[in-house]
C-alpha cells in the first residue's frame, strides 16, 4: 500500500480509518513507504504511558540514537496548523474503547550549523528531519518570507532536486526517473496550477524534463545526504520563522489577547517575543532559555 505518498496528510487518512483502539504514532516516510514501517501501534490496553516514553519507543522503532530522542515530541495530527503538542509528562492510557493518535515531530527546527553536525552524529535522525521538512513543504505547511518571492521556477526546481534524491536513494536511473509523476514532488498549491486543463499534466512533464536532466548530471557525484542537504537549504533560505511556535492567551476580563512566540533558533530574532497589541517583551534570558530547552539540547549538541 502506498502511504505517505505525497506527505503526512494522505498517509494519515489511510491509517486513521483502522485506528479503532490503542495508541497510534505516525512517523514521516518517503514515497511508497508501508504502514507498518511508518506507524507505531501500541495495544498494551490498560497501561499508561508518558508522552516522552512513547517518543523514545518511536525513536527506537526508527533505529535513531536515544541521544537525540529529546529533540522529538508528539503532536496531535488534526491540529498541525497551529501545532498542539503533548507535554513530555502527559499521561496517555492505552484504551480498548478508542484510539489515541499522534505524529512524531522534531520540535524547534535546529539551525544550519547543527543540521550539518547531525549528519555525522546520526544520519537516520537527519533523514527523519529531511522527511519532516519535505512533508511540510509538499503540504504547504511552511510560510515563506514576503521580501523573498519564491517563484514557480524555484518550487519546480526543488521538486526536481527531490526527484533526483529519490532516484539516488532507490537506485533509479535517469531514464526511469522521467516516468515518475512530478505531482508527487511539488507543493499542493503548485500542483493545483497544473490541474486545470487536460494538457497541464503534459506541460508539467515538459517543464520537468530539461531541469531533471540538468540536475541529474549536476548531482551525479553527490551522495543522497548531500542532495538532501541542498533541498533543506533551498527551503530554509526562503522560509519565514519555520519551527516557531505561537501560543495565544485570551484575557476575558480585558477583552485582549496576548501572543507568545517561541523561536529559539530563528535566524533573525531568536528567543521569545510577547505581544499584546504591540511587542511588550522581546528576548530570552539565558537562564530561562536553559530551563525551558536544556532537555532538548542533548548536552553539547547545539554548542
Residue 129 placed within a domain: no
Residue 252 placed within a domain: yes
Query: Domain with 102 in it: what CATH number?
Result: 3.10.20.90
Residues 226 and 257 in one domain: no
Residue 221 placed within a domain: yes
Mean pLDDT for the stretch of residues 39-62: 95
Residues 37 and 98 in one domain: yes
CA-wise closest residue to 105 among 116, 113, 92, 82: 82
CA-wise closest residue to 70 among 88, 91, 93: 88
Residue 122 placed within a domain: no
Please say if the pLDDT value at position 13 is more than 50.
no
Mean pLDDT for the stretch of residues 134-152: 80
Residues 69 and 50 in one domain: yes
Q: State which residues form the domain around 104.
A: 8-108
Please say if the pLDDT value at position 63 is more than 90.
yes
Residues 14 and 94 in one domain: yes
41-45, 95-99, 236-240: lowest mean pLDDT where?
Answer: 236-240
Residues 229 and 257 in one domain: no
Question: pLDDT per residue over 180-206, tens digit each?
Answer: 888 889 888 877 776 655 555 666 777
Per-residue model confidence (pLDDT) at position 276: 75
Residues 169 and 78 in one domain: no
Residues 22 and 75 in one domain: yes
Residues 66 and 146 in one domain: no
Number of domain units in the chain: 3
Residue 165 placed within a domain: yes
Report the predicted TM-score, pTM, of the whole model to 2 decimal places. 0.80
More confident site: 1 or 268: 268
Cβ distance 141 to 132 under 8 Å?
no
Residue 148 placed within a domain: yes
Please say if the pLDDT value at position 3 is more than 80.
no
Residue 124 placed within a domain: no
pLDDT band of residue 156 (cuts 50, 70, 90) is confident
Please say if the pLDDT value at position 224 is more than 70.
yes
Residues 101 and 13 in one domain: yes
CA-wise closest residue to 172 among 157, 186, 162: 162
Q: Tell me what the pLDDT averaged over the chain comes to.
A: 78
**% of the chain beyond a pLDDT of 90:** 31
Last residue of a domain, which of 201, 217, 236? 236
Bridge partners, 300 (sequence order): none
Per-residue model confidence (pLDDT) at position 195: 64
Amino acid at each position: 500500500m502506498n502511504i505517505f505518498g505525497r506527505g503526512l496528510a494522505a498517509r494519515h487518512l489511510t491509517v486513521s480509518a483502522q485506528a479503532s483502539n490503542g495508541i497510534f504514532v505516525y512517523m514521516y516516510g518517503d514515497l511508497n513507504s508501508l504502514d507498518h514501517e511508518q506507524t507505531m501501534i501500541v495495544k498494551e490496553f490498560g497501561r499508561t504511558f508518558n508522552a516522552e516514553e512513547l517518543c523514545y519507543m518511536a525513536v527506537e522503532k526508527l533505529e535513531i540514537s536515544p541521544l537525540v530522542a529529546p529533540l522529538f515530541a508528539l503532536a496531535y495530527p488534526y491540529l498541525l496548523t497551529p501545532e498542539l503538542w503533548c507535554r513530555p509528562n502527559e499521561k496517555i492510557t492505552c484504551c480498548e474503547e478508542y484510539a489515541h493518535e499522534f505524529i512524531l515531530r522534531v520540535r524547534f527546527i535546529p539551525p544550519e550549523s547543527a543540521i550539518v553536525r547531525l549528519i555525522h552524529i546520526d544520519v537516520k535522525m537527519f533523514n527523519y528531519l529531511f522527511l519532516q521538512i519535505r512533508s511540510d513543504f509538499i503540504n504547504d505547511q511552511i510560510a515563506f518570507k514576503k521580501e523573498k518571492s519564491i517563484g514557480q521556477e524555484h518550487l519546480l526546481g526543488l521538486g526536481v532536486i527531490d526527484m533526483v534524491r529519490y532516484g539516488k536513494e532507490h537506485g533509479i536511473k535517469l531514464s526511469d526517473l522521467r516516468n515518475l509523476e512530478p505531482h508527487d514532488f511539488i507543493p499542493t498549491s503548485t500542483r493545483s496550477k497544473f490541474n486545470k486543463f487536460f494538457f497541464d499534466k503534459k506541460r508539467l512533464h515538459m517543464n520537468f524534463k530539461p531541469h531533471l536532466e540538468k540536475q541529474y548530471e549536476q548531482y551525479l557525484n553527490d551522495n543522497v545526504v548531500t542532495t538532501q542537504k541542498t533541498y533543506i537549504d533551498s527551503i530554509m533560505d526562503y522560509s519565514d520563522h519555520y519551527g516557531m511556535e505561537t501560543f495565544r492567551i485570551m484575557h476575558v476580563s480585558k477583552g485582549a489577547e496576548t501572543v507568545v512566540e517561541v523561536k529559539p533558533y530563528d535566524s533573525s530574532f531568536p528567543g521569545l517575543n510577547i505581544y499584546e497589541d504591540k511587542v511588550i517583551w522581546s528576548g530570552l534570558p539565558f537562564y530561562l532559555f536553559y530551563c525551558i530547552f536544556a532537555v532538548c539540547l542533548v548536552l553539547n549538541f547545539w554548542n
